[in-house]
Amino acid sequence: MENIKQYVQENKERFLNELIDLLKIPSVSADSAYAHDVMTTAEEVKRRLEEAGCGTVELCETPGYPIVYGEKIVDKDLPTVLVYGHYDVQPPDPVDLWTSPPFEPVIKATEIHPEGAIFARGACDDKGQMYMHVKAFEYMMKNNTLPCNVKFMIEGEEEVGSKSLGWFVEQNQEKLANDVILISDTGMISNTQPSITTGLRGLSYVEVEVTGPNRDLHSGLYGGAVANPINILAKMIASLHDENNHITIPGFYDKVEELSAEERAEMAKAPFSLENYKRALAIEDVYGETGYVTNERNSIRPTLDVNGIWGGYTGEGAKTVIPSKAYAKISMRLVPNQDWEEITELFTKHFESIAPKAVKVKVTPHHGGQGYVTPIDSIGYQAASKAYTDSFGIVPIPVRSGGSIPIVALFEKELKSKTIMMGFGLDSDAIHSPNEHFGVFNYLKGIETIPLFYKYFAELSTK
């Protein structure tokens, strides 16, 4: 029988076209205007899994969007891999900044992807990466080389906090029982230096509302005499960091685990060019917490960022007004051991306490989740490491990512299994941004690497 490399080469065009068709459906979970498309995508993923050879595939109803669940049990004595991914995508806006429409996928070459990249919302996060698993599974089924049982769990609410999935996992521990969880929803260092994500940050996301006077006021008649909620909000936000860019919320760092000098030295070995980093973002300098380098600031350290701020008059021309209200959306990225609910509470208390009497403050939590670190001495990590070593010819480096997949910590709690994150995207793939893309090389390499993971995981499990 032909090997995986050959199979990928022979089926390359079809693999690309199938992904392109999936990317045409705008499955934006955050906006109810797309609800029908999100449902269509779920059905489409179900059909694709069936076609790939997954015997039983169901759309599991939830209070929100359905979870596509499929399984192929070869032999109950073999180890079971649970594959998780998501079929929903981020909103495409700002749409004008896309060089081609977000839901009309095209393949274009870039400096980093000279062999071409698929441009579309969801190309990398996560339709492209999720679909690699479906195609890798197709290969193993066709070749009769599936060495493990497989369970697929593909959700449609990852980008809005995975509420329904949390509920589903708690209800279905037995159904979801597995030996390892495999996810491709992260990135790697570069196409010449693969890496395996060993950590994710947690998240606490809140919205704040500051209210001054009971109505918008003439800024001449009242200006200077009453609190302007926008001025106050700006001041309050500015006070959340000190001159060293440390977060000033009391207790915020209490549970943060400091890495040893050894661990930090290990991290510093990963290839990184500050010059390229700055050039790619068109910035003169980086900015962050004193005492930590860029790769630490964006992975092992917690942060607080305003994601959006609004209020008052923003239309054309000038309107002289003191607004009644000001708002901001704030995210805090957390590290393992920080509890997101506790942090949300600390934030709320602190934010209320720093507000002057002249305004009222309301804090509304949106969603959150715990951070995660996976050990590198597990069978799962070793299987992944061997798989990359075979397909890239280079040993992958373990890297802690700054992003969040909050459900991963819940998987560990409810299903008692470790998650292995085999991501094939690059930071430059612009996930969540205009012009998101996924390298054709990365997509095909992913399909090639995944069956090797199964092979090594089965081998190592029986030792």
Contact residues for Mn ion, defined by CB under 5 A: 125-126, 185
Q: Which is nearer to ligand BES, 186 or 303 (CB)?
A: 186
Percent composition of the chain: helix, strand, coil (DSSP 3-state, to 5)? 35, 20, 40
**Rounded to whole angstroms, how far apart are CA atoms 147 and 44?**
26
**Contact between 303 and ligand BES (CB under 6 A)?**
no
**Contact between 203 and ligand BES (CB under 6 A)?**
yes
DSSP 8-state class, residue 258: P
**Rounded to whole angstroms, how far apart are CA atoms 449 and 136?**
8
User: Other C-beta atoms within 10 Å of 174: how many?
Assistant: 7
**Rounded to whole angstroms, how far apart are CA atoms 218 and 404?**
44
Binding segment for ligand BES (CB under 6 A), chosen from 8-16, 102-110, 402-410, 443-451, is 402-410
Nearest alpha carbon to residue 337 among 240, 253, 408, 219: 253
Longest dimension (CA), the chain: 83
Backbone torsion region of residue 411, taken as left when φ is above 0, otherwise alpha when ψ lies between -120 and 50, otherwise beta? alpha
Residue type, 134: V
Considering only 37, 71, 138, 159, the residue that binds ligand BES (CB under 6 A) is 159
Question: Please, what is the minimum distance in Å from the beta carbon of residue 69 to Mn ion?
Answer: 18
Q: Which is nearer to ligand BES, 37 or 158 (CB)?
A: 158
Ranges within 108-147 binding ligand BES (CB under 6 A):
125-126
Phi, psi of 310 (to 5 degrees): -155, 170
Token pair belonging to 257 = 């685990």
Binding segment for ligand BES (CB under 6 A), chosen from 94-102, 188-196, 263-271, 397-405, is 397-405
Question: Please, what is the minimum distance in Å from the beta carbon of residue 383 to ligand BES?
Answer: 20
Question: Please, what is the minimum distance in Å from the beta carbon of residue 20 to Mn ion?
Answer: 19
Q: Which is nearer to Mn ion, 218 or 432 (CB)?
A: 432
The terminus-to-terminus CA distance of the chain in angstroms comes to 26
Number of residues that bind ligand BES (CB under 6 A): 16
**Contact between 161 and ligand BES (CB under 6 A)?**
yes
Q: Which residue is nearest to ligand BES (CB)?
A: 403
**Contact between 184 and ligand BES (CB under 6 A)?**
no
**Contact between 83 and ligand BES (CB under 6 A)?**
no
Considering only 404, 417, 428, 442, the residue that binds ligand BES (CB under 6 A) is 404
CB-based burial of residue 378 (10 Å sphere; 0-12 exposed, 13-18 middle, 19+ buried)?
middle
**Contact between 449 and ligand BES (CB under 6 A)?**
no
| Residues of the shown chain interacting with ligand BES in the complex, contacts defined by CB under 6 A | 125-126, 158-159, 161, 185-187, 200, 203, 367, 401, 403-406
